[in-house]
Amino acid sequence: MLEREIEAWAGKGVRVSVRESQKGELLVFHCEIHGARDSVRQEVLREIKDSLANELSHIIIDEYEKFLVSRLVDENYAYLSSRDRDIIKRKVAFALDGRAGRASDLQDGVERSRRKSRVWARLAEYLEKENEIVLEGFITFRLKEYLEDLYDTVEEIAEDYLTDREYREFLRLLRHFMMRQKNKAREVNVVRLGEGYALYDDKMKPFEGEVGSFLANPPDGMDLGVDDVIVSAVVTLAPERVVWHGSKDNSPCYDLIHDLFEDNVALCPGCSLENGPAQTPTTT
């Protein structure tokens, strides 16, 4: 950027030089304007600052942001494996681009452009009054809102990832438990009746025995909701197939059963059971 500015002003007869020096861990650029009237010097300085604000906004968002995200993840989630942290970093990068993990999203880059514009505005405002800028110091002390937004994004993505990971581990444990069951049911029919449910075997008969008793009288002190009771019964029965009767909307029970059994869940197109038979073991 500085080279382009130097060449452009040289063509107008104004000599601009840039000298590099090392100051501790900082690489310093000294920009000087030679042999020009004060009005010209002010014009050159203003245009260089405008270009500088534009280029630094690109550097902060396109380059430095990767470092900031990596540092936030590594410092706040050091207890996770490097693989988990890398996954979170990739998910954060997608989210910051507005893609949320979808490579073909039409919103690609929109969020990045928005952040870049906000950073550019703060840079331009600062350089309008100042002739020196330390990039890392500017980010730390002048872009606090940007850093807070970045932290919030990292935290949200990380928490979503950890919640999903815990859920997948929960499903794995349930499947492992079902594999160890000796007397597995061939099929379980789950019938949704209003706010309650009923379970039937493959012959459309209510379950009896321990499962029937559990459904009729769930143990006290376990703080089980109706969906928890049904899922617990289905897992205990460990069926090869589950048939769902009734609406699946807004049903945590269906969501968990579907995730647990995947392709072995079938939806009933409609039958008499969904009208609510008079005598069935039902949990409400």
Cα–Cα distance for residue pair 206/18, rounded to 1 Å = 86
Which ranges of the chain have pLDDT less than 50?
Answer: 102-106, 278-281, 284
pLDDT for residue 15: 93
Q: Is residue 19 part of a domain?
A: no
44 and 157 assigned to the same domain: yes
Q: Convert the pLDDT of each residue in 69-103 to its tens digit.
A: 999 999 999 999 999 999 999 999 999 987 655 44
Mean per-residue pLDDT of the chain: 89
Cα–Cα distance measured from residue 89 to residue 97, given in angstroms and rounded to the nearest whole number: 12
Q: Is residue 16 part of a domain?
A: no
Same domain, 54 and 140: yes
pLDDT, tens digit, 9 for 90 and up, residues 202-223: 999 988 888 877 787 777 655 6
**pLDDT, tens digit, for every residue of 175-196?**
999 999 888 899 999 999 888 8
- Asked whether residue 31 is assigned to any structural domain, the reply reads no
Q: How many domains does the chain have?
A: 2
**Same domain flag for 139 and 205:** no
Entry pTM: 0.78
Cα gap 54→166, rounded to integer Å: 43
For 160, the domain range is 38-176
Instruction: List the CATH number of the domain containing 266.
Output: 3.30.420
82 and 205 part of one domain: no
Question: Are 139 and 263 in a shared domain?
Answer: no
